[in-house]
Amino acid sequence: MSYFTSIFFKDENGTPYGVKHINNKPRVSSMPYLYDIAEGNVTEHNPFTKLGYNADVGATEEEIITQGGLYYWIPTATALEVVSSSTDDDVAGIGVQKVKITYLKADYSEASEILDMDGTTPVPLTDTAIIRVNSIRATQVGTNMMSVGTINCRTVVGTNVVRSIVAGSTRGRGATYTVPLGKTLYITSVHLSSGYTTSGKVVRWFCRAKVDSTAPTVKIDFFQPFYETITQDSTNIAEFKMPVKIPATADVKISALSNGAGSFCSCYIDGWIE
C-alpha cells in the first residue's frame, strides 16, 4: 500500500494550476522579498541600482549624468566606441585597462562586451547596431586603481557621449536607463541629494519614465513623471510602498534644475528587474 499522494490546486473551473516555487518549495519567504532577490533565491529576478551625478546643475534642466546637459538618446541603432582623455587608461597602463559596456541591440535585447582600453585611441565595439547603453564600468585596472582620464563611450558618427567614467573613478554615473526587451523594472526607491559651495541653492527634481501610471504595462513615446521633489542642501529619500513598474523598452531618467548655477546633484535608484 502506498501512503504517498499528490496535492494540487484548481481554479474555479476545475483546471489545475501551478504554484510559484523555489526548488520545488512554495514561494513563501520569512525574510523581505528584496533580500531574497539579493541572495539569488528568486529565479529570473535581479537587483537593480543606478547612480547619477552632475556637478553643475543650473537654471536650465539637465539630466543627472557626469557629462552634464541633456542625455543623448540614440535615435537609430548605430556604432559606438570607447576612448579616454589619457594615454594611461590602456590595457598595459596604470589606469583603467578594461571596461565592460552593457548595451541594448537594435531590437532592445541586452548584451555586453568587455574592451581592452587603448588610451586616447578609440576602440570600437564589435556590435555596430546599438540603440542604448545602460552602463560602463571598469573590469580591470592598473596600479592607479582607477581611471587617470575621463573615459567616454560615444557614437562613432557625431561623437555623442552616451556613458562616461570621470577621471578618478571606475564606474559611470548616469541616472538614465532603458529596460531590456522581455524584462520589467520595478523601482522601489529613489535617493536625491543636492548641495553647493555656499548654502541656499534650491534644486527641483524630476523622475520620469516613458510609461503612464494608469497603464503601467504599456510603453509610451514621451516621458511622464512618477516622482518630483525639492531639495536645498539636503537629501530626499522616497521609498515607494507600491513599486513603480516600468515595462520593456521604456526609458527612465532623473533630471533637475536649480536657482543657481553650479549645484552639485547626486542620486541613486534602486529596485529589481525580472
Q: Is residue 7 pLDDT above 70, yes or no? A: no
The tens digit of pLDDT for each residue in 62-76 reads 999 999 999 999 999
| Percentage of the chain modeled with pLDDT above 90 | 81
The tens digit of pLDDT for each residue in 130-147 reads 999 999 999 999 999 999
Mean pLDDT of 53-82: 97
Q: How far apart are CA 245 and CA 1, in angstroms?
A: 51
Mean pLDDT of 82-111: 98
> Could you tell me if 112 and 166 are in contact, meaning their C-beta atoms sit under 8 angstroms apart?
no
Q: Is residue 1 pLDDT above 80, yes or no? A: no
Q: How far apart are CA 155 and CA 46, in angstroms?
A: 29
Q: How far apart are CA 171 and CA 95, in angstroms?
A: 13
Entry pTM: 0.87
- Structural domains in the chain plus CATH codes: 46-69+176-273 (2.60.120), 80-165 (no CATH)
Mean pLDDT of 85-101: 98
Q: Is residue 21 pLDDT above 80, yes or no? A: no
The tens digit of pLDDT for each residue in 172-230 reads 999 999 999 999 999 999 999 999 988 889 999 999 999 999 999 999 999 999 999 99
| Percentage of the chain modeled with pLDDT above 70 | 91
Specify burial of residue 34 (Cβ count, 10 A radius: 0-12, 13-18, 19+): middle
> Could you tell me if 72 and 132 are in contact, meaning their C-beta atoms sit under 8 angstroms apart?
no
Please report, for residues 72, 161, 184, 267, the alpha-carbon distance to residue 158 in angstroms, rounded to integers and kept in the order given.
11, 9, 31, 28
